[in-house]
Structure 1
């Protein structure tokens, strides 16, 4: 076992991680694995390759991880069942120390059927801490692509660091998922997805300034079948599959996984009656669970799903994953960018009282070197040219904004960092005790990722000419090209590389680092460094 919770060396190129089912089938036959399973009850072979949606893993701890797949020989089937019919199927899984599966350490099976959308969630325990593993699934003669995953180090272990990338906002119609492919090529240890994994609109409703390069299948997602079909369309994308297969994911949804800008029990346009909104939310949560590598404890109950949680990476990082949609008050002053007195009402909440109390308690209990909030919407104060704030961000819930910030200060959190999605633009922000006072101390940092595709190509810009930075001096960087953020977290620093591609409307565009920042241990402020 490696020292300090580190993984054994791995030299094989990750380009071989996603291999075809036929090749894996040959490998299975070479190792003597049986290949005779079929749909239970039907006694007939499946109509085609059931692993068109790839594989994924998530929610690692020091001895276990969730393995995921979903069976769909016909991903775009209108009933949302992927061409699987109505039979129940036994799916076998294997975990190995090597990608050729010569050293298999765990085997098992799961049963799935139409009530689960043919999704599989295998919670595999008994693994070694801080270790790299490979996994695959099998149904009958069909063998899935291979995924790579890892467990976290033991508590008390800092180790040599963790490579973490985070992303959000992948509108299928607006561009190709090239950024996901580049994220996979970086070979992170863990990936955080901070919402808007998919979009609910019917085709050609949400059109980017550059035009849509491909269309959504089906109508606006309002039923379980619609949501299942839409997730299948996204997950059939091979660039997204590569990102899922390379590392375990930690996920939280934002609004488009249900309905644009929904808040609590209120849908996007409350002036238009939608009496079945809670049923729509229940269907959306069910489909979200089915399509994400979540533990069974996150399985929804009707219109409610428990998603806020802490995942510890040894004693180096606590990842506090938040839900800023399900428990929030409705947006103030009718939503949008407003000068709004109600936004400062301390009674308003974006997290709900229970989640807020839980998070403040997590701060008090933390002994980690870094406490990282994985959440959806802009946290720092941000003022427009007219003096307005965004009512859909933490600015619209300033009581929550101030209580959470004060909470980590009072708890003595060593290095608080907020990670954010939603706004389709890269930002690097210093968080202040009092944004109205330029001399107020810096109490944390926020890193905001641009979109994978949402909004089309976007545009490059020079921070020196950006009026947003002049109005908001605590904001140190902004860029509207599309991309993701790549980080390396060690005991001494967090380094963030803002990765971009120039065009998402053309597949395979190269990626580059637009800017890099370092947060030093106990420093909290941002220092720009040379990209590499």
Structure 2
């Protein structure tokens, strides 16, 4: 019997006696005459908010995690399963309940709850909430995807990630929630794994962090749980989760900076690093609104997946960490070494690459979106010194990069938009197998979305990137402020609106649109909108 089966709702398995400092129990009668325990919390248990994710035409996942004392050992919960009720309604006032039930929050999963709601109507808003004992969560909004093959006027969604807690406030998330997107694609770096630091040594000298991580660098499951709790307690991030369903993927900092496969940046014995990966994988699942199909197995998590938005858009979510071979050039940045042309190198692995190409070739949607983590443009990062690339991007893996783009080109797959994060900057440009030398027209186009906070306030464009843009003709736009993007797909165009804040080191940062770049349907190459 699987862990999930073991914790499927069963009245016989509901908790009858609680222990621990933050929660006790009362018994209430059931129709059968048996007793069902009702938790009584001394501290509000929904400290980490609620979330929805991975929507489908008939439902979505709704998530919460009980943590009355998020930073304490055991986070204020007894080491026993706890019953949590859930409701879904067709309006934010929650008066007309269209689905409801009860779930188990097991201690093995940090008392998290992942309810896969089904039986709903396609392409419409719903609202949800949880109850544990007499305590009730805030209300979140979710939205189902359109029916398969449905005709749509538009899809409008947000792109975000790289949210280093120490380097800024999450004002961008509050503004993103107000934008009311159909969904959010989070490209990763949801947490950062480093120790708490009072001062950050930035490129411009020492900067005092405006807030600080709790504890040292994280290694154990308890460490990762506390770090997620610190991030999730932020009210602006909670607002963004409550505003729309998320499609979440990870990048490196959910485990360790620049990790790939079973390699970390410090050369740790893979057997030891895999112990850390197991803790990171479990904590990620516990804290994200993921389906049971992504349930962790050791160091593995099924995170590449696909969603369809009618005839308009197919969303292909990639994993560029789990199946990647070791970084070339010892991970040094910028890089120029023979390892860039390693013939056996992989970024997404053979199975995922086949899955992606099968999906792209079988797609009948107007727009084919590849939503992933690391830049696919092969930017020369130091044009004055010959070709030097970022080894932690697709440019560091020339063989698999060229193979994928060549296959897209040769299959004549049109209207491909790549969405990326990781760089802590905004970029918009076109994709070729080899710079702009070998193709008459771009194969696809890429929109790289800046960080929520990582990198601090930033600037319109850093001096070195003005030189990089001048030396890389495929790159059309670059900006180094913080923020997020809103993408809107219609039958005519795929438009990315880069939204930036003038500051993230104060809470009243002002949001503005820095630029809009678009792909026109059937016409390769981006244009300014």
TM-score scaled by structure 1? 0.89
Query: Separation in 1 of the partners of 2:28 and 2:456?
Result: 46
Q: Which residue of 2 aligns with 1:331?
A: 327
Instruction: State yes or no: 1:478 paired with 2:471.
Output: no
| 1:336-485 to 2 correspondences below 5 Å | 336=332, 337-385=334-382, 386=385, 387-437=387-437, 440-461=440-461, 466-485=466-485
Q: Name whichever of 237-246 and 399-408 sits farther off.
A: 399-408
How many angstroms does 1:141 deviate by? 1.0
Q: Superposed, which structure 2 residues align to 1:269-348 within 5 Å?
A: 269-270=266-267, 272-273=268-269, 275-336=271-332, 337-348=334-345
Kindly report the root-mean-square deviation, in angstroms, between the aligned alpha carbons of the 2 structures.
2.1
Post-superposition offset of 1:53 = 0.8
* Secondary structure in 1 matching 2:488: strand
**Does structure 1 retain, via aligned residues, the 8 Å contact 2:28–2:37?**
no
The answer (yes or no) to whether the contact 2:39–2:134 under 8 Å persists in 1 is no
Q: More strand by proportion, 1 or 2?
A: 2
**1:250 is the counterpart of 2:282:** no
Match of 1:186 in 2: 179
Distance in 2 between the 1:397 and 1:300 partners? 28
**Do the aligned partners of residues 325 and 465 (structure 1) sit closer, same or farther apart at CA in structure 2, a change above 3 Å counting?**
closer
Q: 2:462 & 2:476 partners in 1: Cα distance?
A: 12
Q: What is the alpha-carbon distance in structure 1 between the residues aligned to residue 257 and residue 36 of structure 2?
A: 41
1:261 matched to 2:258: yes
More moved, 45-54 vs 233-242: 45-54
Give the aligned partner of residue 73 of structure 1: 68
Corresponding residue number in structure 2 for 1:16: none
Unaligned ranges ≥5, structure 1: 1-34
Residue 96 (1) aligns with residue 89 (2) = yes
Aligned match for 2:219, one of 217, 222, 246: 222
- Alpha-carbon distance change, 369 to 205 in structure 1, aligned in 2, over 3 angstroms: farther
Asked if the contact 2:498/2:514 (under 8 Å) is kept, the reply is: yes
Q: Alpha-carbon deviations, 1:270-297, whole Å to 9, x = none?
A: 1x54742101101100000010000001
- Residue 509 of structure 1 deviates from its aligned partner by 0.9
Is the deviation greater in 434-443 or in 336-345?
434-443
User: Which consecutive segments of 4 or more residues in structure 1 shift more than 4 A?
Assistant: 40-44, 272-275, 462-465
Number of aligned residue pairs: give it: 491
- Mapped partners of 2:296, 2:209: distance in 1: 33
Structure 1 position 498, deviation (Å): 0.6
Q: How far is 1:245 from its partner?
A: 0.6
What TM-score does the superposition give when structure 2 sets the normalisation length?
0.89
CA distance in 1, matches of 2:413, 2:260: 30
Task: State how far apart, in whole Å, the 1-side matches of 2:324 and 2:432 are.
Answer: 23
Measure, in 2, the Cα distance between the counterparts of 1:163 and 1:351. 27
The structure-2 alpha-carbon separation of the partners of 1:475 and 1:319, relative to structure 1 and needing over 3 Å to count, comes to same
Q: Distance in 2 between matches of 1:448 and 1:66?
A: 27
SS at match of 2:41: coil
Contact 2:465 2:478 in 1 (8 A): no
Q: Which moved more, 1:221-230 or 1:412-421?
A: 412-421
In the superposition, relative to structure 1, how do residues 274 and 443 fare at CA in structure 2: closer, same or farther (>3 Å)? closer
